[in-house]
Amino acid sequence: MKLYSYIVIISTFCLPTITKGQDTSNLLKESLESAAKNVLQLNELNISNDTLNIVSESGFLFYPFGKHKSFAQFKAANLKFNYKDIYLKNQLTNEIVRGYQLHEGKSYVKLLIEDEDDDNRVMIIRGEISDSVIFLKNRVHVGMDKQKFLQLFFARTPNNSINVINLKSALEGIIHTYTFKQNKLQSIKFYTDYMVL
């Protein structure tokens, strides 16, 4: 009888414990994965504490202001910014390329013109937006409601305690970080690991 008691005690200690928080996180993960819209081009999704991490192939990561074939076209669509020339170094090739820095209030965005098959496109390299007058594609802006932001990428968005959303490209090293406070978008950050000033 003693042997049986030891087996029960040992097996009880070896069982994995699932806390309510972990269970809720897994349910939210499964719910979001099943509700992901095609536009997201979801590769991977995980949740850690109050952070939703998404790996995606969406063009939105490289072109959050939309696709523009020239800097003049980009500038015409984003009149709220002031502009200046900058020079960027490609970490992979050591090539120095001309770029632009846009700024408005405390916000800034660094970008370059990508030459791909003679179809120039304006690509975001780095930036931080904290001013509500700057709008990305799909009217994403500081002050936006978290549920409305999530609805851009998910058909259903259950109530959640997510405060940070990281969107990372599956193709190259570009990451967007959207930080929410009291369910309102407070800041947007863009950064890459292959281009530096």
Provide the token pair at 190: 């863009």
Q: State how far the Cα of 186 lies from the Cα of 116, in Å rounded to an integer.
A: 34
Over residues 95-132, the pLDDT tens digits come to 888 888 999 999 999 988 776 555 667 788 899 999 99
Over residues 81-100, the pLDDT tens digits come to 899 999 888 777 888 888 88
Least Cα distance to 144 among 178, 100, 121 occurs for 178
> Would you list the domain boundaries of the chain?
19-196
Provide the token pair at 160: 């959640």
Mean model confidence pLDDT for the chain: 83
Least Cα distance to 88 among 195, 180, 13 occurs for 195
- Say if residue 53's pLDDT is above 60: yes
Contact 149, 37 (CB under 8 A): no
Least Cα distance to 35 among 156, 135, 126 occurs for 156
- Say if residue 8's pLDDT is above 50: no
